[in-house]
Amino acid sequence: MSSVQFQAGYDPASNEPGYPVVESAPLSPLPRRLFRRTQRRVQELPELVGGSVLVFQSNERFALAPEGSRRLSSDIVLNASMVAVVLIKKQLVPAVATLPTITPGRRVAVRASYSCQVIDAVRVLEEGCWDVRPVLVEYLLEDAKVQMLGARVDISDNPEVQQKILARALARKALEPPEIPGMRVQLVDVSLDIYAEDGRVPLGSGGDYPEGGYGHDRFDDRRNGYHGPDDQDDSYPPDGDGR
């Protein structure tokens, strides 16, 4: 894992496309010709991938082109200054948030995977969400209590601290899920990694979460029959209750 990836939540130098926009291209608006049908060449448009749609932009407005044979000659396509390929199928999107720490050389990373699906491609772009990954990283870092827990000096050998961080992520899944207009977002997996300058730090044993171990504690919502640690009211208040 590069230091760039820890800071940004994903590696901007990688070739992996973002979500939901996987490609975009500038367009020049086409003038109408008298008594002749004006039509944009299909070669000007990026190719669709499986489960995607084309969204066209003209000034600050976004729209889908009409279906049918006159699609390339529609006003939406002819007036567009940009076109984007937007994935609308469900996608598993990773996010990595680095928590602040008072220990020199230590990095505490909360890794999460979110199931994301676009339900309104136009609305998503109107809201400026071309890549959901930085939005999800910001969401992970919004919880001040998690940042305080991540800064504790005993985080690497205190399972209770580790579990509280994961438990708060689960609480927010139910009480304060990410809200992105035009997109459904649900937490699927969350884990905790601690790194020092010489590599991953061994975490303390005795945790209730599965797959706890060497520098890694984890909750995976895809595991059948597993619902996180026991709690009397089956919830963890997002502002903490001293547990």
Q: Which residue has the higher pLDDT, 220 or 191?
A: 191
Q: Do 187 and 221 form a contact (C-beta atoms < 8 A)? A: yes
Do residues 168 and 240 lie in contact, with contact meaning Cβ atoms separated by under 8 Å? yes
Contacts of 146 (CB under 8 A, 6+ apart): 99, 110, 140, 165, 168, 169
Residue-wise pLDDT tens digits, 197-226: 665 665 654 333 333 333 445 556 554 343
This prediction has a pTM of 0.74
Taking only the tens place, the pLDDT of each residue in 21-64 is 999 999 998 877 766 678 899 999 999 999 999 999 999 899 99
Pairwise pLDDT comparison (138 vs 34), residue with the higher score: 138
The pair phi, psi for residue 193, each rounded to 5°, is -125, 140
Separation CA 101–CA 154 (nearest Å)? 11
The pLDDT of residue 225 is: 42
Counting runs of H as helices and runs of E as strands, what totals does the chain give?
Answer: 6, 9
pLDDT value of position 68: 82
Q: Give the per-residue pLDDT at 211.
A: 34
Question: What pLDDT is recorded for position 202?
Answer: 58
